[in-house]
Amino acid sequence: MNVLIVDDEPLALDVLETYIDKVPELKIIGKCTNALEANELIRKEDIDLLFLDIQMPQITGIDFLKTLSNPPMVIFTTAYSNYALEGFELNALDYLLKPISLDRFMKAVNKAQEQYDLTHSEAAGGGITAASEDFFFVKADKKLVKVRYNDILYIEGLKDYVIIRLKVGRVITLQTMKSLEAKLPSKLFKRIHRSYIVGLDKINALVGNMVEVTEKGQTKTLPVGKNYRDDLLQLVNKKRL
């Protein structure tokens, strides 16, 4: 896994670098002391895992993560335990409290490796199995469930799970929004938020920073993230008379 460390404390950077060097599966792509440097590297490099300090100058690690439209796996590092809840609400993989012990570090890395292996096995065909141009199979409830593209209203992300909301019913599967988005046809589906992918033909209206779809005969509103709004507007304008 390609790793990026972001921390404004030189000692913390050195400790994490020493630990990472002990794990053959990890490769350090860069070390940054602030979010601006990290943002440039994330844009240029393929980062799988981000060790991110929370208390940093200019912008906190939490606020920085909120700016990323397609973030890598994140393990927060901090000296303050009161940030844990907010960190997990942002789908952080783990939360390491400084000073970080090697055994606690390894526990977090093992969790990241499991997630990485799951995501890449899905990308190789383990999570979604294509069968035709209008449907696929997805692992759910210990079986492969057939899902038709036309039946999908929207997809909701919940940590390591996604809920595929259908015209009738739903399917819950263990995988990330990032991996699922990569396998869905872009001409049919659009990511509109960190936690939502919507079927383009299911959008009834765009109202401010919300889209409207019809679910169970009622209007359902979904939020549009600021990092996704411009791309969505471009698609809508192409269909505009």
The fraction of the chain above a pLDDT of 90, given in percent, is 54
Q: pTM value?
A: 0.53
- Is the pLDDT at 24 greater than 70? The verdict is yes
CA Rg value for the chain: 19
Q: Quick check: 48 and 27 in contact, CB under 8 A? A: no
Instruction: Report the chain's terminal Cα–Cα distance, integer Å.
Output: 47
In the chain, what are the domain boundaries?
2-123, 128-238
Report the pLDDT averaged over residues 138-150. 87
Structure tokens given for 186: 């872009």
Minimum mean pLDDT among 11-25, 81-95, 96-110: which range?
Answer: 81-95
Q: Tens of pLDDT along 189-232?
A: 999 999 999 999 999 999 989 999 999 899 999 999 988 988 88
140, containing H or E segment: strand 135-140
CATH 3.40.50.970 fits 2-123, yes or no: no
The rounded distance, in Å, linking the Cα atoms of 110 and 193 is: 28
Instruction: Kindly give, in sequence order, each residue whose CB lies less than 8 Å from that of residue 76, ignoring residues fewer than 6 positions away.
Output: 52, 53, 54, 61, 62, 83, 87, 92, 94, 95, 96
- Is the pLDDT at 186 greater than 90? The verdict is no
Cis before 99? omega within 30:
yes
Instruction: Quickly tell me which residue has 């959008």 as its tokens.
Output: 203
Query: Which has more pLDDT, 122 or 58?
Result: 58
Q: Quick check: 138 and 128 in contact, CB under 8 A? A: yes
User: Given this model, what pLDDT does residue 31 score?
Assistant: 96
Report the pLDDT averaged over residues 110-116. 86
The highest-level CATH class for domain 128-238 is mainly beta
- Is the pLDDT at 46 greater than 80? The verdict is yes
Same fold, 2-123 and 128-238: no
- Is the pLDDT at 233 greater than 80? The verdict is yes
The rounded distance, in Å, linking the Cα atoms of 64 and 149 is: 34
